[in-house]
A and B are shown apart, each in its own frame.
Chain A
Amino acid sequence: MDWSPLFISLKTSICATIIAFLFGIISARLVIGLRKRVKAVLDVVLTLPLVLPPTVIGFILLLIFGWNSPVGQLLRKIGVRIVFSWEATVIAATVVAFPLIYRTIRASFEQIEPSVLDAARTLGLSEWTIFWRIMLPMALPGCAAGAILGFARALGEFGATLMIAGNLPKRTQTIPVAIWSAAEGNDMRTALIWVLLIVAISFFIILPLNLLGEKRT
């Protein structure tokens, strides 16, 4: 049995979660400071990857990073090829994990009592200090929840990954892709092992989320 899909999946999900987490915090902070209407529109744009079919994400990513696209050609000039590379799995996973992380963090920022932030301002604290020393620590449980959800989602990413990264064993074959590949080849035993494994991993990733929630209430 080839265990490489497990390591590829974990490596991809960890990288994707970190990237999506950083972008998630920055976007959440930007969005809550915007005026209502701009906020509503931007919020929809940032949430779209959550609801669009993975094939649409994959297609758009192909448009952006494909060999004939401006970005693709630019990257080719410096010797980087995204399509059918491991990096592509990270990009696909990041895009689908981002909305979950962003929304969870934004919600926990919005739960902060506005008077706490107002008080900080009257006390002369800069917006930067307020963000790092007050908002982030207060939103920490929410950030953790966002990261967990994002990680679980990245781990389960299939459609967009298949379209942009393909199914190259030992390079881009993640667990979901391996399951599909094994089932296609009628290797039901291998497929079942991967299924059980990913159910177990997901279960133990999501579990602390609920324990986290219990502790807060």
Chain B
Amino acid sequence: MSLEVNITKKLAHFTLNVSFRTENECLGLLGASGCGKSITLKCIAGIVQPDSGFIVINGRTVFDSKRKINLPPQKRRTGLLFQQYALFPTMTVRENVEIVLRHRAKPQRKQETDKILEKLRLCEFSRQKPSQLSGGQQQRVAIARMLVSSPEVIMLDEPFSALDSFLRLAVETELAEILSSFSGTILFVSHNRDEIYRLCRRMLILQDGTTAAFGTTPEIFCHPETLAAARLIGIKNIAPAFAVNIRKINVPDWGVILETNQDIPDGTNYVAIRAHHIREAQTDETVNCFNFNVARKQNEPFRVQEMLTLTPESGQTKTPLIRFISGSQDPFFSSQEIHTVRRLCIPSSHLILLKGE
């Protein structure tokens, strides 16, 4: 089961231009809101028509602008789980599922409906209307309805965005389990990097309609190559930079010149370091070590966030660096703790070199 997409479409603020190929996997589409993720899914489902390009599902061309092929959504065999689930409000849970199977003989229809309702633990709600159900239950109905339509591709559009935060992890675990029994391709759209990290082995990052990164999830999370990718996977410290020589890079916003452990590639104009990778310098250590002041300190539930600026003797920091230290502390710091000087290291092994805008 494969999916090949190569489409362009002019939108109000940018031109959508995505191209990828995926086979029997859960591919994550990560991007900020309004970057074209949902539109991409709608193009694949046949609800929105791209301006040009092609879409091939399991070797079946469902859209091709050159060959003038544009199958209606009914014939594409794609399952799209909408953000708000889009259940049929006038029908009961059972009817919502049964209408998809309306061409089957009655006994078979009943049997299949019973089976899927049981699998998704919906039997007790089968006579209720969607409006009487909780968000998680509504989502299960939408999934049940989608699964009985036997799609070749499943597309999930921000499946957890409409749920209360305490429900999310439970629903996510459940969804992962249901989807593991699906053998085809799954596209998972989200603006939440954690969800993508947990559910998808490969991912694609969309920025203003174009692909900013495409590869395996761990690879992109550890070694993002573009500014957009680094921002979307949640790196806190990103700053413009320029190479001084092949192993040294100047970061004016932080007020430092850093050494790298690899040759700086051409076109590098940003550097990044994850907040938890900044560490205390060891005695005698000198490479990339600087004296910092703690300008501000903030307690988060299970970690402490420090805002760091260079001490006046060491240089001037325009954008403070952010450092995370795990573990909790007394939420009320003494003022002495702030403005203490620390010798910290920005390890070259964790320095990320980026190409930006």
Give the interface of A toward B (CB within 8 A). 113, 115-116, 118-126, 129, 133-134, 137-138, 140
Contact = CB atoms under 8 A, between A and B. Distances in A.
B74 A125 contact: yes
Interface centre among A121, A122, A133, A140 (most CB of B within 10 A): A122
A121 B151 CA distance: 12
Nearest to A137: B90
A140 B145 CA distance: 24
Contacts of B74: 121-122, 124-126
Interface stretch (B81-89, B263-271, B288-296): B81-89
Contacts of B77: 124
B146 interface: yes
B89 A119 contact: no
A137 B99 CA distance: 14
Contacts of B89: 116, 138
Contact of A115 (B84, B90, B100): B84
B47 interface: yes
Given A124-B74, A125-B99, A119 B90 contact: no
B224 interface: no
Nearest to B90: A137
Per DSSP, chain B at the interface is loop
How many chain B residues sit at the interface, stated as a range, is 20 to 34
B99 A129 contact: yes
Contact of B73 (A115, A116, A118): A118
B88 A122 contact: no
27 contacts: A113-B84, A116-B87, A116-B89, A118-B82, A119-B82, A119-B87, A121-B47, A121-B74, A122-B45, A122-B46, A122-B47, A122-B76, A122-B79, A122-B80, A123-B79, A123-B99, A123-B100, A123-B145, A124-B75, A124-B100, A124-B149, A125-B74, A125-B102, A133-B91, A133-B99, A134-B90, A137-B91
B8 interface: no
Given A123-B145, A133-B91, 9 more contacts: A113-B86, A115-B84, A119-B80, A119-B87, A120-B88, A121-B47, A122-B47, A123-B79, A124-B74
Per DSSP, chain A at the interface is helix
Contacts, number: 68
B78 interface: yes
A53 to B, nearest CB: 40
Given A123-B100, A138-B90, A115 B82 contact: yes
A86 B38 CA distance: 57
Contacts of B218: none
A111 B224 CA distance: 44
A119 B81 CA distance: 8
A121 B72 CA distance: 8
A34 to B, nearest CB: 17
A121 B73 contact: yes
B163 to A, nearest CB: 17
A124 B148 CA distance: 11
B102 A129 contact: yes
A211 to B, nearest CB: 20
Contacts of A124: 74-75, 77, 100, 149
A41 B317 CA distance: 63
Nearest to B45: A122
Contacts of A120: 88
Contacts of B86: 113, 115-116, 118-119
Contacts of B42: 118
A134 B149 CA distance: 17
Interface centre among A118, A129, A134 (most CB of B within 10 A): A118
Contacts of A113: 84, 86
Contact of A123 (B90, B91, B149): B149
Closest 4 CB pairs of A and B: A119-B86, A121-B73, A137-B90, A115-B86
A25 to B, nearest CB: 16
A122 B145 CA distance: 11
Interface centre among B79, B84, B99, B145 (most CB of A within 10 A): B99
Contacts of A133: 88, 91, 99
Nearest to A124: B74
A124 B42 CA distance: 15
Interface centre among B42, B76, B89 (most CB of A within 10 A): B89
Given A134-B90, A138-B89, A138-B90, A122 B102 contact: no
